[in-house]
Structure 1
Amino acid sequence: MKITDIELSILESPYHYGMSSEATDSRGPQYALIVKVHTDEGITGIADCDSHPHIMKAFIDAPSYIHAFAEGLKYAVIGENPFEYDKIWTKMYQSSFYQGRRGAAIHAMSAIDIAIWDIIGKATGQSVSVMLGGRNHEKILAYASTLFRNTPQEMKEAVQKYRGLGYKAVKFGWGIVTENPLQIVSLVEAARLEAGPDMDIMVDGMWTSDVKLAIQLVKELEHYKVFFVEEPLKSDNLAGYKKLANAVNARIACGEQLAGLYEYKQLLEEGDVDIIQPDISRAGGLTEVRKLVTMVEQSGKLLIPHAWTSDILTAASLHLNSYQKNPVFQEFCTNDTPLSRELVTNPLQLDSEGYVHVPSTPGLGVELNEEVIRRYAIDTLVVNTL
């Protein structure tokens, strides 16, 4: 089997990111990138990518500048056997040496890598979790992932909503607390009062560069039994994270903005946070994050994947969680937007106990809704090396 070409579709949502007064929930990214990797045996792998689609397209389709060191990722992928995923990953990484081998380069690599694992599963008739090395769990407890509401009363109403939908956990992020970090305490207090003791609450958002303020706020949040506090500091502030993590009892989480094992190794060793949060579509794909699972387990930390796009990335994250020995949560984005809710024909659903089941059909286990892709596509390109 050989990879023949890569198809890239940039989609545009009719909605802007954020919380709109007329929306039923938060609205996610305005753009999405759908990646299809085609093979000579008619098997196609799919992925989406939680990065700027136009930039990802350029990284994949750029012409060759210096062979094998500075060229589009297509030169490292097309013509290769998808089962040689490690070889392909290494070739992609090397091909981006002279245009920034981390960051955006690994984001683009990640989408291709996820699609390759989808091919591997489809070709063998197995789910991705089996092909990763072990389907250890059939369902993962989900948390509703949404944005902070503006008032305590709106926070209570949001908790009522998610509890009514069957969620046993909810995470509020960003929004108003990025403008005034001090508001987070009263908002979380209201959420906890409404949730009672049996619902897990998490919080997210880059609040401050003031480490002492972060320590103060997290200590106040501890009174409301938050399960974790995500990225209260900039992700590069490793010294700040270590100081924060060692000063509080609440779990500190970080990692969705990082790319590649080297950056995660630094976070583990220098930041000493409690929870690592790789976004598979940014961190290096399943090939890289599969290795990160072992690294995190050996460090005595937890790994909870970040997933804020569509059911395609959520499915990939579910397979990674299934592969983990001790998964904790599956982030389940509640965005009210077609680029989150309508991209697949078999949307993932919460069960009556608050879990999402790991797809069991071959590959990722979700299939694209081609009609929706056509409806929102603003740019489609078939990439090859001819």
Structure 2
Amino acid sequence: MKITSIELAILESPYDYGMADDASDSRGPKYALIVKVSTDEGIVGIADCDSHPHVMKALIDAPRYLKSFSEGLKYAVIGENPFEYDKIWTNMYASSYYQGRRGAAIHAMSAIDIAIWDIIGKASGQPVGVMLGARNHERIKAYASTLFRRTPEAMKEAVRKYRALGYRAMKFGWGAVAEDPRRVVALVAAAREEAGDGMDIMVDGMWTPDVKLAIRLVKELEQYGVFFVEEPLHADNLEGYRKLANAVDVRIACGEQLGGLYEYKQLIAEGDIDIIQPDVSRAGGLTETRRLVAMAEQAGKLIVPHAWTSDILTAASLHLNAYQKHPLFQEFCTNDTPLSRDLVAEPLKLDGEGYVAVPAGPGLGVELDDEAVRKYTVDALKVTL
């Protein structure tokens, strides 16, 4: 089997990112990237990528500058056997040396890698989790992932909404708290008052450069039983994370902005946080995050994958969670946008206990809704050699 082409579709949402006061929920990213990797046997793998689609397009389709050293990722992928995923990953990494092999390059690599694993699963008639090496779990507890509301009463209303939808865990991030981190305590207090003791609550997006302020706020949040606080500091502030994690009892989480094992190794060693949050579509795909699971387990850390785009990424993250021995949560985006749940033929859903089933079909176990993809596509490209 050989890879014959890579197809890219850039989708545009009719909504801008954010949380309007009169909106029922948050609005997700303005753009999305759908990647299809085709083979000479007619098997097509799919992926999406939580990065800037127009930048991803350039990284994949760029002309050759220096062979196997600085060129578009297509040169490392097309013509290869998808079952040699490790070889392809290594060659993609080498092809990006001069234009920067971390950051955006790893994002583009991640999308291709996810699609390759989808091919591997489909060709083998097995779910991706099995092909990773273990399907240890059939379902994962989901948390509603949304933005902070602006008032305590609006927070209570949001808790009532997500509880009625079946969630038993929720995470509020950014929004009003990003504008002023000091607002977080009153808003979380209102959420806990409405939720009672039967709901896990997580916090995201304070993102302050002030480590002492972060320590004070997280300590105040402890009384409300917050399960974890995500990225209260900038991702590069590893010394600040170490000080924060060692000063509080609440679990500290970070990692969605990182890519590749080198950066996660540094986060573990220098930041000493409790929960690592790789985004499979940015951290190096399933090939690299599979390795990260082993690294995290050896370091005594937990992994909760970041997943805030479509059900394609959610499915990939579910398979990574199923591979873990002790998964905690599946992030389940609640965005009110067609680029979230509408892009697959059968959207993922919660069961009656607040869990999401790990897809059981071959590959990722989800298929594109081609009509929806066509409806929102504003730029498309088929890459061959």
The TM-score normalised by the length of structure 1 is 0.99
Post-superposition Cα deviations, 1:57-115, rounded to whole Å, max 9, x if no partner, equal: 00000000000000000000000000000000000000000000100000000000000
Q: Who is 1:105 aligned against?
A: 105
Counterpart in the other structure of 2:240: 240
1:267 aligns with 2:245: no
Tell me the SS of whatever aligns to 2:145: strand
Alignment of 1:311-350 (within 5 A): 311-350=311-350
Distance 2:130 2:145 in 1: 27
Q: Is contact 2:231–2:254 with CA below 8 Å preserved after alignment?
A: yes
Identity of aligned residues (%): 77
Cross-structure match for 1:152? 152
Is the 8 Å Cα contact of residues 206 and 234 (structure 1) preserved in structure 2? no
Task: Give deviations 1:316-360, integer Å, cap 9, x for gaps.
Answer: 000000000000000000000000020000100000000000000
Shift of 1:22: 3.9
2:366 match: 366
In the alignment, does 2:13 pair up with 1:5? no
Deviation at 1:54, TM superposition (A): 0.1
Superposition pairs of residues 20-35 of structure 1, within 5 angstroms: 20-35=20-35
1:298 corresponds to = 298
Aligned to 2:52: 52
Secondary structure of the equivalent of 2:293?
A: helix
Query: How far 1:198 sits from its partner (Å)?
Result: 1.3
Q: Is the CA contact (8 Å cut-off) linking 2:56 and 2:108 kept in structure 1?
A: yes
Determine the C-alpha separation between the residues in 2 that align with 1:26 and 1:208.
Answer: 22
Residue pair 2:9, 2:35 contacting (<8 A) in 1 also: yes
Give the equivalent residue in structure 1 for 2:189: 189
- Note the alpha carbon deviations across 1:32-79, whole angstroms, 9 max, x for none: 000000000000000000000000000000000000000000000000
Per-residue CA deviation, residues 225-270 of structure 1 (Å, 9 max, x unaligned), is 1000000000000000000000000000000000000000000000
What amino acid does structure 1 have at the position aligned with 2:275? I
What letter corresponds to residue 114 of structure 2 in structure 1? I
Alignment of 1:178 onto 2:150: no
Pairing of 1:205-244 with structure 2 (within 5 A)? 205-244=205-244
Residue aligned with 1:184, SS: helix
Residue-by-residue CA offset, 1:201-237 (whole Å, 9 max, x unaligned):
0000043101000000000000101000000000000
Counterpart of 1:92, as a letter, is M
TM-score between both structures, scaled by the size of structure 2: 0.99
**1:116 maps to which residue?**
116
The answer on whether the counterparts of 2:343 and 2:372 sit within 8 Å (CA) in structure 1 is yes
State the alpha-carbon separation in 2 of the partners of residues 351 and 203 from structure 1.
24
In the other structure, the counterpart of 2:356 is 356
Task: Write the distance in 1 (CA, Å) between the matches of 2:343 and 2:373.
Answer: 7
- C-alpha separation in 1, matches of 2:45 and 2:292: 23
Structure 2 stretches lacking a partner, 5+ long: none
Note the C-alpha offset of 1:384.
Answer: 1.3
**What is the alpha-carbon distance in structure 2 between the residues aligned to residue 148 and residue 347 of structure 1?**
25
Structure 1 outlier segments of 4+, above 3 Å: none
Any conservation in 2 of the 1:60–1:108 contact (CA below 8 Å)? yes
Aligned match of 2:379: 379
**In structure 1, distance between residues paired with 2:21 and 2:375:** 25
Distance 1:251 1:236 in 2: 18
| Alpha-carbon distance, 1:23 to partner | 2.7
Determine the C-alpha separation between the residues in 2 that align with 1:76 and 1:332. Answer: 33
Tell me how far 1:20 sits from its aligned partner.
Answer: 2.3
**Which residue in 2 is equivalent to 1:281?**
281
CA distance in 2 between counterparts of 1:167 and 1:373 reads 28
Measure the CA separation in 1 of the matches of 2:232 and 2:23. 27
Aligned match of 2:164: 164
Match of 2:98, SS state, is: helix
